[in-house]
């Protein structure tokens, strides 16, 4: 494998909650990055809930990330932990008799970064989703040490969720590299006012505003990518 002129770009995508569009944004980001980087790959370190794909268990988020990637990776690298039950990872892992090893997940990311020019890592649930009785998704993000992109699901309560998550990200010594406003509730009042407030308060660039989509299409997303990501 030829040596790169620079290390692979890697980003960690988290959200204000579950169901706010992290996978849509991660897949859209992969398509956007592919304009500048030949080999892009998505990673879902922990996925809870399975579907059958070509006779094998997989996860809907993982399937979407693989479809948006330009290079294939072994399942043990792009989705090291696949848990059957669609519940919080610490519960799903306990039910499956699995111990989530953050060190192993970091090693898998390191191996992926050797295969690609850009890696988009999608976290599970919100930033502090429990992975065990003692560790959370924040511990994984901190161990990876990557710039963080925050997906804000625009709905009632999102301001509190966004500010708390940004505070938690920075408390871990991580960089909030940007955020995305995703209109998950088409009936939300004062959406523009909410976005304007967060632009003033989050102290990070707004990289995309996603209108409500009844059928999400990651290829349709437009990002204002920082020059360092290009």
146 within some domain: yes
Rounded to a whole number, what is the distance in angstroms from the first to the last CA of the chain? 22
Q: Indicate the number of domains in the chain.
A: 1
Please give the Cα distance from 47 to 211 (Å, whole number): 26
**The one catalytic residue among 37, 44, 155, 161:** 44
13 near 145, Cβ under 8 Å?
no
3 within some domain: no
186 within some domain: yes
Please give the Cα distance from 176 to 148 (Å, whole number): 5
Give me the pLDDT at residue 167, please.
98
CATH number of the domain where residue 56 is located = 3.40.50.300
30 within some domain: yes
Question: What digits encode the pLDDT tens for the residues 146-183?
Answer: 999 999 999 999 999 999 999 999 999 999 999 999 99
Angle at alpha carbon of residue 37, lines to 31 and 39, rounded to 5°: 85
Contacts of 51 (CB under 8 A, 6+ apart): 57, 58, 59, 60, 63
DSSP for 174-218 reads --EEEEEEE---TT-TTHHHHHHHHHHHS-S-EEEEE---SS--G
4 within some domain: no
152 within some domain: yes
CA 220 vs CA 5, 43, 185, 217: distances in Å: 30, 21, 18, 6
Domain span at 165: 9-229
Give me the pLDDT at residue 55, please.
85
- Which parts of the chain have pLDDT scores under 50? 1-4
78 within some domain: yes
Give me the pLDDT at residue 138, please.
98
188 within some domain: yes
Please give the Cα distance from 10 to 110 (Å, whole number): 10
Give me the pLDDT at residue 6, please.
60
44 catalytically annotated = yes
């Amino acid at each position: 494998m030829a040596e790169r002129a620079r290390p692979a770009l890697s980003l960690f995508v988290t959200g204000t909650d579950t169901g706010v569009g992290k996978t849509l944004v991660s897949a859209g980001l992969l398509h956007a990055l592919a304009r500048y980087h030949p080999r892009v790959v998505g990673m879902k370190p922990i996925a809870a809930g399975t579907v059958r794909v070509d006779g094998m268990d997989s996860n809907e988020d993982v399937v979407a990330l693989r479809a948006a990637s330009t290079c294939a990776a072994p399942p043990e690298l792009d989705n090291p932990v696949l848990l059957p039950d669609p519940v919080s990872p610490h519960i799903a892992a306990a039910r499956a008799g699995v111990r989530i090893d953050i060190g192993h997940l970091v090693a898998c990311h390191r191996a992926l970064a050797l295969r690609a020019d850009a890696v988009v890592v999608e976290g599970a649930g919100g930033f502090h989703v429990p992975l065990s009785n003692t560790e959370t998704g924040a511990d994984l993000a901190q161990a990876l040490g990557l710039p963080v992109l925050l997906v804000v699901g625009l709905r009632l309560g999102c301001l509190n969720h966004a500010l708390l998550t940004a505070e938690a990200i920075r408390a871990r010594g991580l960089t909030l590299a940007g955020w995305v406003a995703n209109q998950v509730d088409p009936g939300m009042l004062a959406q523009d006012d909410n976005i304007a407030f967060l632009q003033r308060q989050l102290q990070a660039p707004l990289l995309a505003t996603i209108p409500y989509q009844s059928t999400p299409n990651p290829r349709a997303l437009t990002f204002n990518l920082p020059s360092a990501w290009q």
